[in-house]
Amino acid sequence: MDVQVSETLRINFELGPDDIEYFRKRLSNARRNRALRDDDRVILAAEALAVKALESNPPTFVVSRMLTLQNMVDMLKDRDWSLENDDRDRVLEVLAYFADPNDIIPDELPGIGFLDDTIMIDLASIDLAPELEAYAEFCANRDDLAAKMADAQPLKVARDELQSRMRRRRRRRAGGASSGTDIITSLFHAG
């Protein structure tokens, strides 16, 4: 009888304030440079990264982050969700990092090539938490509507209500919540 032994290796690392600041600056630079990029190119680049990463049989931690990146792309492409103006720009500014050909770690390095991208996706997820939460609820409502669930709202009603709540949450977070660095630091310490 053959027995397969499955080995795993768990690597924990901690990013300090200077490390987090480095990644935040990279994200900030990408946001500033987004004005130089075509929105469709930004969307395609982010989507291509997610597809490339998922097709490479990556470690589990990469898979979950790439699915989050794909959700960010889906928010922009989803005609029913229809993000507009400042809301759309916020997501595009975050995705602009993934259109930058100057990656910190080359994606081709097995096992760790997407590490920098996963860190940036985590940062982006924190920045876009209100958007990601609202979009997930919208998609769930749309699924309920398709399944003819009694409590499902019409798409326009759900979209308007969820996008309004998304904006309120974003304003509240910007007005007095913990800084993004504090949140990120606690995330990396917990992991």
Are residue 117 and residue 80 in the same domain, yes or no? yes
Decide if 39 is inside a domain. Answer: yes
Q: How far apart are CA 123 and CA 121, in angstroms?
A: 5
Answer whether residue 50 is part of any domain.
yes
Mean pLDDT of 149-155: 95
- Structural domains in the chain (count): 2
Q: pLDDT per residue over 56-89, tens digit each?
A: 988 888 899 999 999 999 999 999 999 999 999 9
Q: What pLDDT, on the 0 to 100 scale, is given for residue 176?
A: 59
In Å, how far are 41, 48, 98, 132 from 45, measured between CA atoms?
Answer: 6, 5, 6, 19
Whether residue 93 has pLDDT greater than 80: yes
- Do 46 and 70 belong together in one domain? yes
Q: What is the mean pLDDT of the chain?
A: 84
The reply to whether 46 and 111 lie within a common domain is yes
User: Which residues are CB-contacts of 70 (< 8 A; sequence separation ≥ 6)?
Assistant: 47, 50
pTM of the predicted structure, to 2 decimals: 0.80
Q: Is residue 5 part of a domain?
A: no
Q: Is residue 188 part of a domain?
A: no
Q: What is the enclosing helix (H) or strand (E) of 187?
A: helix 180-190
Lowest pLDDT segment from 28-42, 45-59, 75-89, 112-126: 28-42
Between 174 and 87, name the one with better pLDDT: 87
Provide the domain limits for residue 133.
Answer: 129-174
What confidence score (pLDDT) does residue 179 get? 45
Dump the DSSP string for 108-174.
TSTTTTTHHHHHHHHHHHHHTHHHHHHHHHHHHHHHHHHTT-TTPPPHHHHHHHHHHHHHHHHHHHH
User: Which long-range contacts (C-beta less than 8 Å, at least 24 apart) are formed by 12-21?
Assistant: 12/191, 13/188, 14/188, 14/189, 15/119, 15/184, 15/185, 15/188, 16/185, 17/181, 17/185, 20/181, 20/184, 20/185, 20/188, 21/181
Residue 187 within a domain: no
Average pLDDT value for residue range 125-132? 94
Does the structure show a pLDDT above 60 at 188?
no
116 and 135 housed in the same domain: no
Q: Are 114 and 145 found together in one domain?
A: no
123 and 133: one domain? Answer: no
4 pLDDT band (50/70/90 cuts)?
low
Which of 144, 145, 129, 131 is CA-nearest to residue 180?
Answer: 129
Higher pLDDT, 191 or 70: 70
Cα torsion 178, 184, 185, 189: sign: positive
Average pLDDT rounded to a whole number, residues 119-142: 95
Are 118 and 142 members of one domain?
no
Highest mean pLDDT range out of 25-34, 40-49, 98-107? 40-49
39 and 100 inside one domain = yes
Is 65 inside a domain boundary? yes
- What is the distance, to the nearest Å, from the Cα of residue 181 to the centroid of all Cα atoms in its chain? 16
Same domain, 65 and 103: yes
Does residue 83 share a domain with residue 61? yes
